[in-house]
Chain A
Amino acid sequence: MEQIDPKNHDGTSDTTPGGEFDKRRPGELVFTVFLLIAGLALLKSAYGIENPFGPNGPSAPRAIPMAATLAMVISAAILVVKTIKLPLDRAETLARDILPINVVVFAFFLTAYGVLLVPLGFLPTSALFLIFGIKLLAKRNWRWTIGVSLTSLIVIWLIFRIVFSVLMPAGIVPEAEFIQFFRGLSGGGVNS
């Protein structure tokens, strides 16, 4: 039977386990230890949940959170032990296979988007994001990039504003007045 190489599974969504089963990917140990520490911190926090109405028995508000975080700690601990035993996969590097520069740049872009969204408004922020994002990935000339970005932004805006009536922060663009202007135009056309 033909085996599918998991690396080709860029379309499958739920899990895309990378790397090989018997090897440790770069950064995996750090991640697993992080999970263990996070689990311990959450367990401590869960233990601190007090029942305001009675004793902290099995029906107290801390019961399920403690059970869940305890399961996290135990499974993370098992995983740390298992991961330490695996040999490191020398064929992969952190910078190329796990965290390439594009991912870091896009994570930064998205954070910047979140920061600018409210003060600047949806349309200018999205335009900036799409232009720089597409420029970075497609590496085509500016004219093409700006054309594609603005066209897709207009389509998205029309669909969401009109079909789904999603309200995004207007920011510096007088969006409402803009729509009103066009409504006025079409309304005026009917009246006359």
Chain B
Amino acid sequence: MTALMDFFTVFMQPQLLLLVGLGTFAGVYVGAIPGLSVTMAVSILISFTFSWDVYPAISLMIGIYMGGVYGGSRTAILLNIPGAPSAIATALDGYPMAKRGEAGTAIGVTTVMSFIGGFVGIGVLALAAPLVSDFALKFQPRDYMLLAILGILLVGSLSQGSLVKGIFAGALGIAIGAVGRDPLTFAERFTFDFQLLEGGISFIAVMIGMFGVSEAFLQLHHVNKDAVHQKISRIVPSLVTVKKHLPLSLQTSTIGVIIGALPGTGGDIAALMAYDHAKRVTKNPERPFGDGAIEGLVAPETANNAAVGGAFIPMMTLGIPGDAVTAIMIGALFIHGLNPGPMLMIDQPGMFWFIVGCLVMANIFMLIFGLTGIKLFTRIVEMPRSILIPLIMLLSIVGAYAVNNSITDVYWMLGFGVFGYFMRHYGYPLGPVILGVILSRLLDDNWRRAIISEQEDLGRFFAGIFSSPLSLVLFVSVILIFVSQTPLWSYGKRVIFGRAKKT
């Protein structure tokens, strides 16, 4: 009963409702404007909302997140530029549709399908999270440690680029997170005897630098690229179209939730897998895939929005983020004094149900804003980059300064901005860095708890891993990710598949 009350909090308070609405609206546009990303928006927003109460701040950020995941599809369809990584698969069929002059239909289908996918994700979150958190109470410290490593490795290996670069990025993140005085023994770590470093590096400065400033620097390469004009006709899709694709959308939503719920995998991978699934199960598409098949839009869009709900499951119940955006959301919860993990569901179940309520509301707003305001949309997307880039940089500086009123944070942000810029150029993924920074503390604490409880004996530690099924599964997964990148793996694959071909 109280859960229901908490769930409806957001519907009862006009102020919160307004914030979710505003957030979703902003999210749709942020996601849609090439050069602005959800990660960027949420990381800058954390610094501005941190003096707020928890509820309004969370409402706004959830709105932006939900809207942003959807908004990326708009530019994917209209310009063949995915506004967010999760919209890469959308461009494959969306852009060909737009080229045929069916941009309106494409946007309409995308919106309705995102809405359906979003609801499936939220539904699963509401049902599964309480169960998972009950289960998570049985987790040993070593399981948390392994989960954290698994999350960082998965983000590193599944995003584009090589796993070795991903490992470097993740390890760098863990090291950045360790800077400052060790909370257990008060020993100085990586401070180089500077007093400034004793409190550690503000993770918001790292985030804004990596996702805000470095992105803005990169956009400087594209200043003179013009926006493409597209005529958009009817948007609201017919009921027949929606009904026809409902079975597929439910299948791909399920894929989305599951992929989203795995630590380390998020909407982008879910969308690509769903696209692949749609290609396999659709026997007679009206048009071939890659040439403007509606199924090719339905699948990734349901999946990436379903993944939002899915991604909240490990985030809320284990405190382990699914991808860069959820890592930043965890940061936001930390800032507001909440500690995502199994205890959150016990100590503050209200918070969980409030977040579910916000997600539902954001999903509804997304449908409304998605099907309206197309004229305004085309004008905003055409905003010249020569104005946009300096503004993003200004906002990044204000954001980095505002959290601690410290000019040092601004310099950190600039430093990480320049560093992140080079990382992007040379193909290093940035997601693992943020995950590493966020998870560094959890990893450190749980490793030490685990090894102290085994009386500092590594042999007993590994015996513990092998005697618990859960730890063993996690441990084997970590090892598998490593092996999959070595020549041993391709050799093994050749042996197995080579035999399969012969028989």
Interface residues of A (CB under 8 A from B): 1-2, 4, 6, 8-19, 25, 27-28, 31-32, 35, 39, 42, 45-46, 49-53, 57-65, 68-69, 71-72, 75-76, 78-79, 82, 97-98, 100, 102-103, 106-107, 109-111, 113-114, 117-118, 122, 126, 129-130, 133-134, 137-139, 148, 152, 156, 160, 164-168
Query: For residue A164, which residue of chain B has the nearest CB?
Result: B48
- Asked if A49 and B189 sit within 8 Å, CB to CB, the answer is yes
The smallest C-beta distance from A29 to any residue of chain B, in angstroms, reads 10
Bound CA span A180–B390, Å: 30
Cβ-closest chain A residue relative to B431: A14
Look across to chain A and name the residue whose beta carbon is closest to the beta carbon of B48. A164
Q: Mark B388-416, 1 if CB is under 8 A from A, else 0.
A: 01110111011001100101001100100
A106→B398 CA distance, assembly (Å): 16
Those 5 A-B pairs whose CB atoms lie nearest each other, nearest first: A13-B37, A11-B34, A133-B390, A17-B427, A137-B386
Contact between chains at A65 and B386 (CB < 8 Å): no
Is the Cβ of A69 less than 8 Å from the Cβ of B187?
no
Whether A100 contacts B92 by the Cβ 8 Å rule is no
For B82, list chain A residues within 8 Å (CB). Answer: 4, 9, 11-12
User: A13 to B159, Cβ gap below 8 A?
Assistant: no
Residues of B close to A160: CB separation below 8 A? 48, 398, 402
Of A64, A134, A168, which is within 8 A of B390 by CB? A134
Min Cβ gap B89→A in Å is 10
Would you call A98 and B34 a contact (CB within 8 A)?
A: no
In the assembled complex, B329 has its CB within 8 A of some CB on chain A: no
Q: CB-CB < 8 A to B219: which residues of A?
A: 10
Q: A14-B430, A58-B458, A110-B414 are in contact. Are A64 and B391 (CB under 8 A)?
A: no
**What separation, in Å, do the CA atoms of A57 and B217 have in the docked complex?**
44
Q: Which residues of B contact A76 (CB under 8 A)?
A: 168
Tell whether, in the assembled complex, residue B189 and residue A12 are in contact, meaning their CB atoms are under 8 Å apart: no
Interface centre among B38, B186, B190, B443 (most CB of A within 10 A): B190
Least distance between B159 CB and chain A CB atoms (Å): 5
Interface of A is mostly: helix
B91 in the interface (beta carbon within 8 A): yes
Given that A11-B75, A100-B220, A106-B220 are known contacts, is A35 also in contact with B390, CB under 8 Å in the complex? no
The answer to whether A11 touches B410, judged by C-beta atoms less than 8 angstroms apart, is no
With A18-B425, A107-B217 as given contacts, are A69 and B451 in contact (CB-CB < 8 Å)? no
* B369 interface residue per 8 A CB criterion: no
CB pair B81 A11 closer than 8 Å: yes
* Docked pose: A166 CA to B274 CA in angstroms: 42
B168 touches A65 (CB 8 A): no
Interface pair B190/A65, CB less than 8 Å apart: yes
Interface string of B359-397 (1 = CB under 8 A from A): 000000000000000000000000011110111011101
| Least CB separation from A69: chain B residue | B175
Which of chain A's residues has its CB closest to B434's CB? A14
Q: When A10-B219, A107-B414, A137-B223 are in contact, do A46 and B190 touch as well, CB less than 8 Å?
A: yes
Interface string of B153-173 (1 = CB under 8 A from A): 000000111001101101110
Minimum CB distance partner of B388 in chain A: A137
Question: What is the bound-complex CA distance between A15 and B157, given in angstroms?
Answer: 12
CB-CB under 8 A from B422, the residues of chain A are: 27, 31, 98
Q: Is the CB of A2 within 8 A of B92?
A: yes
Q: Is the CB of B217 within 8 A of A106?
A: yes
Contacts of B167 in A (CB 8 A): 71, 75
* B94 → A minimal CB distance (Å): 11
CB A170 to nearest CB in B, in angstroms, measures 12
From B168, B384, B398, contact of A72 by CB (8 A): B168
- B405 in contact with A167 (CB, 8 Å): yes
User: Is B198 in the interface zone, CB < 8 Å from A?
Assistant: no
B-side contacts of A102, CB under 8 Å: 220, 223
Whether B443 contacts A129 by the Cβ 8 Å rule is no
| Contact stretch, chosen from B177-185, B245-253, B297-305, B346-354 | B177-185
B182 pairs with A61, CB closer than 8 A:
yes
